[in-house]
C-alpha cells in the first residue's frame, strides 16, 4: 500500500493511500479538500474511500466536498455518527473495513475525543491514529480521561515494533523538547532528536515513526517505566497517575 503525505494548514498531515493490487485510492482525515484534489489530479487518480479518525474539523473539513466530487465512501466511528456528517460505514472497536486488497482493523482509542478511532492495516504494517498517538507525544484530553487515554496508548503500544505510525500533525520537535525534559537520560531519545533536527532543517517530515521507536522514546508510552516515574517524582506510582501528571505537565510546558 502506497502512502503519500499531504501537508495541510500549519502542521496537519493528510494521507492519500493507494492499494496497488486494486487501484483503490483512499484518504485519511482530509481536513482540507484542496490539497487532496491537487494530489489526486497530479497523479491521475480518483478517490474511492475516505477514512476519518475523529470529528475535529481539521480532520473532516474537506470530507463532504471530496465525497460529492468523487463519490467516495466515508468510513468513521459509529460513536461519532451524530457529529460527522455523511458517514457511509459506521464502525466500532474490532470491526474491519476492506480497502481493495487491504483490510484495516478499527481500534477504539478514546481520550483526545470520546469517539476517536484508529485504522490499523496489519498486512501493510501501517497505523493511522489521528491525534491519539504522536511522534514523541500524545493528544490533549479534550473529551476523555487520563485512564481512557492510557488504555488507548497501551493498545497501540502493543502493536508490532515494525508498525509504521502515521499521525495527524507534525509535532515531533516540540514534543521532543518536552520528552527530553522528563526523560533526559534516554540515549535513544537523544539520537531521535538529532535525526528530527536534521529532517526539519531540510523541511522534511518526521512521519512516519514506528511503534518500536515510540516505545523507546515517547514518555507517554512509558508511564510505567521506573526511569520516567522517578524523573517526575512519582517512583512506584500507578502508571495511569504518572501518565496524568505527564499530560498535565505537557499542557503547561513552554520549553
Catalytic option among 49, 55, 116, 169: 169
3-state secondary structure of 152: helix
Annotated catalytic residue, options 59, 80, 116, 183: 59
Residue 64 C-beta-side C-alpha neighbours within 13 Å: 8
> What one-character DSSP code corresponds to residue 79?
G
Q: Are 190 and 136 in contact (CB under 8 A)?
A: no
- Annotated catalytic residue, options 49, 55, 56, 116: 56
* 112 belongs to the catalytic site: yes
- Sheet containing strand 25-28, edge to edge, reads 2-8, 12-18, 25-28, 49-51, 73-77, 89-91
**Omega prior to 208 cis, within 30 of 0:** yes
- What cell does 196 get? 528530527
Q: Which of 49, 55, 112, 116 is catalytic?
A: 112
Catalytic residue among 29, 80, 131, 183: 131
Catalytic residue among 32, 49, 54, 183: 54
**Which listed residue (58, 80, 116, 183) is catalytic?**
58
Taking the alpha carbons of 243, 249, 252, 255 in that order, is the dihedral positive or negative?
Answer: negative
Task: Tell which residue, 105, 140, 137, has the closest CA to residue 123.
Answer: 105
Q: Residue written as cell 489526486? A: 40
Question: Is residue 58 among the annotated active site residues?
Answer: yes
3-state secondary structure of 160: coil
Phi-psi domain of 83 (left: phi exceeds 0; alpha: psi -120 through 50; beta: other): alpha
Residue 190 among the catalytic residues: no
Active site residues: 54, 56, 58-59, 112, 131, 169
Amino acid at each position: 500500500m502506497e502512502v503519500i503525505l499531504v501537508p495541510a494548514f500549519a502542521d496537519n498531515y493528510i494521507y492519500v493511500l493507494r492499494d496497488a493490487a486494486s487501484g483503490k485510492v483512499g484518504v485519511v482525515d482530509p481536513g482540507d479538500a484542496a490539497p487532496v484534489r491537487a494530489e489526486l489530479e497530479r497523479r491521475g487518480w480518483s478517490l474511492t474511500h475516505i477514512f476519518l479518525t475523529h470529528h475535529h474539523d481539521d480532520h473532516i473539513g474537506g470530507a463532504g466536498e471530496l465525497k460529492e466530487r468523487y463519490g467516495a465512501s466515508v468510513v468513521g466511528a459509529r460513536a461519532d455518527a451524530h457529529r460527522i456528517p455523511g458517514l457511509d460505514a459506521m464502525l466500532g472497536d474490532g470491526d474491519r473495513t476492506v480497502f481493495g486488497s487491504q483490510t484495516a482493523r478499527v481500534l477504539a482509542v478514546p481520550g483526545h475525543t470520546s469517539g476517536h478511532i484508529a485504522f490499523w492495516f496489519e498486512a501493510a504494517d501501517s497505523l493511522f491514529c489521528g491525534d491519539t498517538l504522536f511522534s514523541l507525544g500524545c493528544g490533549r484530553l479534550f473529551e476523555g480521561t487520563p485512564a481512557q487515554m492510557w488504555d488507548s496508548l497501551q493498545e497501540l503500544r502493543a502493536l508490532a515494533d515494525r508498525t509504521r505510525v502515521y499521525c495527524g500533525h507534525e509535532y515531533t520537535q516540540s514534543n521532543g523538547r518536552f520528552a527530553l525534559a522528563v526523560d533526559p537520560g534516554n540515549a535513544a531519545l537523544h539520537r531521535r532528536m538529532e535525526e528530527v533536527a536534521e529532517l526539519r532543517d531540510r523541511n522534511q517530515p518526521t512521519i512516519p515513526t514506528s511503534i518500536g521507536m515510540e516505545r523507546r522514546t515517547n514518555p507517554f508510552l512509558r508511564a510505567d517505566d521506573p526511569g520516567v516515574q522517578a524523573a517526575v517524582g512519582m517512583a512506584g506510582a500507578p502508571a495511569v497517575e504518572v501518565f496524568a501528571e505527564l499530560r498535565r505537565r505537557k499542557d503547561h510546558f513552554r520549553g
